[in-house]
């Protein structure tokens, strides 16, 4: 009887050790390092998809170049404008986006609704 009782205690002790060792503290997510606008609703973010893109002074290719950017750059959108060019059958409408550095045409960028998605897309784009 004592042998079977000691086997039960050993089994119970082994079970307790396994149970305690499998319980880990959950890792907390540190949000202190996130920028305050990273997840703000209504703030759009863009990733430059062209190898090089030129920021313009205004929303037109006729405007002067004020700066450049490269593929994978993550930028916060601060404004946008529909621009109509041509007339009649050759009339076209394009969207231009304003950034701190200047304006870029919609064909140069991909838009995201938060910085985290934009950063992930940038990382994926640059890893290709």
- Domain ranges in the chain are 44-127
Confidence class of residue 75 from pLDDT cuts 50, 70 and 90? Answer: very high
Question: According to the model, what pLDDT value does residue 15 have?
Answer: 72
Does the pTM surpass 0.75? The reply is: no
14 versus 3: which is more confidently predicted? 14
| CA terminus-to-terminus distance, the chain | 68
How many percent of the chain have pLDDT more than 70? 79
Mean pLDDT across 85-103: 91
Q: Does 66 score more than 80 pLDDT?
A: yes
Average pLDDT over residues 88-117: 94
For residue 49, what are the CA distances in angstroms to 22, 44, 63, 69, 106? 45, 16, 21, 10, 10
Q: How confident is the model at residue 89 (pLDDT cuts 50, 70, 90)?
A: confident
User: CA-CA distance, 13 to 5, in Å (whole number)?
Assistant: 12
């Amino acid at each position: 009887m004592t042998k079977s009782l000691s086997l039960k205690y050993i089994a119970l002790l082994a079970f307790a050790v396994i149970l305690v060792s499998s319980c880990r503290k959950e890792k907390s997510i540190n949000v202190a390092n996130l920028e305050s606008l990273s997840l703000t609703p209504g703030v759009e973010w863009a990733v430059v998809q062209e190898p090089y893109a030129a920021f313009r002074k205004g929303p037109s290719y006729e405007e002067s170049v004020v700066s450049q950017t490269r593929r994978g750059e993550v930028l916060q959108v601060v404004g946008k404008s529909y621009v109509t060019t041509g007339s009649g059958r050759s009339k076209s409408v394009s969207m231009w986006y304003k950034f701190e550095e200047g304006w870029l045409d919609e064909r140069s960028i991909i838009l995201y609704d938060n910085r985290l998605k934009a950063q992930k897309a940038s990382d994926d784009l640059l890893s290709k």
